[in-house]
Each structure stands twice: as structure tokens, then as C-alpha cells.
Amino acid sequence: MSTEVQVRPGDEGDLDALTEIYNHYVRTTPVTFDTVALTPGERRPWLLSHPEDGPHRLMVATEAAPDTSAPRVLGYATSGPHRARPAYATSVETSVYVAPDAGRRGIGTLLYDALFTALSGQDLHRAYAGITQPNEASVRLHARFGFRPVGTFREVGRKFGRYWDVAWFEKEL
């Protein structure tokens, strides 16, 4: 990497950049099943659901931007509720999104390192990740962090005029 990447908890100042990264995937890929780009205002409740402590975290990777004093957001990783019912509280669903021009730099690995370090002291038992297929890069990233395949929901979502499978993975915490 040509510049040093920092990973830290996300905050409201990141909202525009995080929304822009997410919307890239909404508009151009099936990795999220949202089908319409969101505004930062629509995305704000999501951001606020990830405090700096507890089991639901948001970690952001940044680097110094050469043409501005503000750091550039390269990507983010989150943990959030797996399901809404109380007995699921010790399980989280995780995800990683990297800016389209920041791929293949190890950003996802840095983000997951930071996320799982932050989660290590929490009362959590399992992490889950759903990966729209095909997505070998995401499968490799999750395998590197100890996720194992547990099943596939066949043709569970329709986007871009076709049905997509989602493979589910789990990790012991």
C-alpha cells in the first residue's frame, strides 16, 4: 500500500462516504439486495445502530487523501443483529464493503481484523455472513477468518432480472 491505512470506529462524519460506497454495490452488483440507491438521510439510522461499543460495530478504513486534508474512506465492516428475536442476541451478521477503486489492497482483511478484535470481549457465540454467489473474493476473505459454509439459499433474491443464490457461512466467536 502506498499510504498508511487507518481503521477506526465509524461516526456520523463518514455517512456520505459510506453511503456512496454502499450505493455503488446497490447500483452495480447483486452483493446487496437493495435495488434503489439510498440517500445519506435514509442510511443514517443504519449508521446510528452501530455504537462504538457492544456487539453491533462499524469499523471504517481511511487513508490520507493527497488533494484534501480530510482522510478518504476506503471501506467499512459491520456486525449487526442476525435476527430480531432475543434468543439471537449472541449471534451477529457481518459484512464488508470496499470502495470500488480500493480493492485488492487488503482493506477487507484490515477491516475484519479490527472488527473481530473489537468483538472479542463481547458476549457473542457466532458470526454469520451471507454471500451472494458467485463471489470468490468474499468467500476467500471469510474463509481466511475462519468462516465455514453452512448452506445455500437457492434463488432467494431477484435483482437485475435474474435470481441469485446466497451462501451462508458461520464463524465461532
Amino acid 27 reads R
Torsions phi, psi of 63, nearest 5?
A: -145, 155
Q: What is the pLDDT of residues 14-66, one digit of tens each?
A: 999 999 999 999 999 999 999 999 999 999 999 999 998 999 999 999 998 77
Sign of CA dihedral 70, 110, 139, 90: negative
Q: What is the mean pLDDT of the chain?
A: 95
Number of neighbouring beta carbons within 10 Å of residue 49? 12
What pLDDT is attached to residue 1? Answer: 40
- CA distances (Å), origin 173, targets 6, 49, 116, 126, 166: 24, 21, 8, 5, 22
Q: What is the pLDDT of residues 78-120, one digit of tens each?
A: 999 999 999 999 999 999 999 999 988 999 999 999 999 999 9
CB 45 within 8 A of CB 102: no
Nearest C-alpha neighbor of 145 from the set 164, 121, 119: 119
Query: DSSP letters of 15-59?
Result: HHHHHHHHHHHHHH-SSS---S---HHHHHHHHHTS-SSSS--EE
Nearest C-alpha neighbor of 98 from the set 61, 145, 150, 66: 61
What pTM was computed for the model? 0.94
What pLDDT is attached to residue 3? Answer: 66
